[in-house]
Amino acid sequence: MPKEEFKSSAATNASSTSGITLGELVEQYKTHTDSGYQKLKFAVRKNYDNLLGHIVKTLGHVRLRDFDADTIWEAYKGWVDGEKLALGHSMIGKLRLLCTFGITVLKDEDAIRLSTILNKIKTPASEGKRTEQLTKEHVLKIRELAHEAGWHSIAIVQAFQHDFADKFRQADLIGEWVPLSEPGESNIRNEQGEKWLRGIKWNQIDDRLILRHMITSGRANEQKMIEVDLKRGAMVLEEINRIPQHHRVGPIALNEFNGLPWKGTQFRRRWRTVANRAGVPKEIKNFDSGRELPSDEVANSRAELAL
């Protein structure tokens, strides 16, 4: 039976008394003004929506008071089908998150009960910390092939990720496209009703090649100004020197196909094409060359790939 169509025996034997369903809890978590969901970055919210939507399809009809360990285990087995441990780990984590919201914000006693059940369930550990890493040789080859293909923006982003791996994640460099309704000002917009935020611009690099840039970290929009001396990055200097002064305007990485900043999915697909040509093993991802992701973001990224 497909996991989306899984129907818990708990729902069949439900008592006639009222009680909130898991689907209703998800809806309140996403809409309540006191929910932490409201503080998440746009990209993180999209990831959460994907995972929470999967939970609703599987268990949304079940009332919190009708859950038992067997109900959760049956759903978990469906989530990890095909050795998708990261997906199962993230789903259980989201169930715990929903319970915390139900307990602290909604004061729901059934959420306390479900939380107790979840705390007694021991699932296999998800994949550990990633050990894969791009080598210097990989990076040099990626840059070379990117330039040959005319994808110069991929080369400069890869150089930043290599030389300043402890400073930047991919999104810190190429930025993020978000709906116009999201917080933040930008004069860079596309025809899909989105604006571009957070990426590095040339005017943030002064004459001494000092970059001052505001990065966001964590699931929420915590911001921190960083100052980086780009002269300490040999590959970055090589890439900057390739670019004429009069072209150093706007975002540092523009999609050569449309002249706009990259969308993350487009950049990763194009990077993968170059990486394959460079002989980079498929298990090595672009984020293996950048600033280390928090463990929960790594798990969520793996889970998103598994869906």
Q: In this structure, are 285 and 148 located in the same domain? A: yes
Q: Considering the domain boundaries, does residue 299 fall inside one?
A: no
Q: In this structure, are 169 and 235 located in the same domain? A: yes
Q: In this structure, are 220 and 147 located in the same domain? A: yes
Q: Considering the domain boundaries, does residue 131 fall inside one?
A: no
The pLDDT assigned to 14 comes to 39
SS (H, E, C) the chain: CCHHHCCCHHHHCCCCCCCCEHHHHHHHHHHCCCCHHHHECHHHHHHHHHHHHHHHHHHCCCEHHHCCHHHHHHHHHHHCCCCCHHHHHHHHHHHHHHHHHHHHCCCCHHHHHHHHHHHHCCCCCCCCCCCCCCCHHHHHHHHHHHHHHCCHHHHHHHHHHHHCCCCCCHHHHHCEEEECCCCCCCCCECCCCEEEECCCEHHHECCCCEEEEEEEECCECEEEEEEEEHHHCHHHHHHHHCCCHHHCCCECCECCCCCCECCHHHHHHHHHHHHHHCCCCCCCCHHHHCCCCCHHHHHHHHHHHHC
The pLDDT assigned to 11 comes to 40
Choose one of 74, 89, 120: the last residue of a domain.
Answer: 120
The pLDDT assigned to 231 comes to 97
Distances (CA, A) of 284 to 25, 133, 135, 272, 292: 37, 7, 10, 10, 14
Q: In this structure, are 83 and 201 located in the same domain? A: no
The pLDDT assigned to 100 comes to 97
Q: In this structure, are 146 and 217 located in the same domain? A: yes
Q: In this structure, are 17 and 70 located in the same domain? A: yes
Q: Considering the domain boundaries, does residue 94 fall inside one?
A: yes
The pLDDT assigned to 13 comes to 41
Q: Considering the domain boundaries, does residue 128 fall inside one?
A: no
Q: In this structure, are 146 and 30 located in the same domain? A: no
Q: Considering the domain boundaries, does residue 125 fall inside one?
A: no
Tens digit of pLDDT at every position of the chain (307 positions): 444 444 444 443 433 346 899 999 999 999 999 999 998 988 899 999 999 999 999 999 999 999 999 999 999 999 998 778 889 999 999 999 999 999 999 999 999 999 999 999 888 766 556 667 889 999 999 999 999 999 999 999 999 999 999 999 899 999 999 999 999 999 999 999 999 999 999 999 999 999 999 988 765 567 899 999 999 999 999 999 999 999 999 999 999 999 999 999 999 999 999 999 999 999 898 877 754 444 444 444 444 444 4
Q: In this structure, are 111 and 184 located in the same domain? A: no
The pLDDT assigned to 287 comes to 78
Q: Considering the domain boundaries, does residue 197 fall inside one?
A: yes
Q: In this structure, are 166 and 287 located in the same domain? A: yes
Q: In this structure, are 165 and 23 located in the same domain? A: no
Report the domain count for the chain: 2
Choose one of 85, 120, 155: the last residue of a domain.
Answer: 120
State the pTM of this model.
0.75
Q: In this structure, are 150 and 77 located in the same domain? A: no
Q: In this structure, are 89 and 185 located in the same domain? A: no
The pLDDT assigned to 290 comes to 56
The pLDDT assigned to 305 comes to 45
Choose one of 88, 120, 152: the last residue of a domain.
Answer: 120
CATH number of the domain that 172 lies in?
1.10.443
Q: Considering the domain boundaries, does residue 126 fall inside one?
A: no
Look up the domain containing 110 and give its range: 3-120
Q: Considering the domain boundaries, does residue 305 fall inside one?
A: no
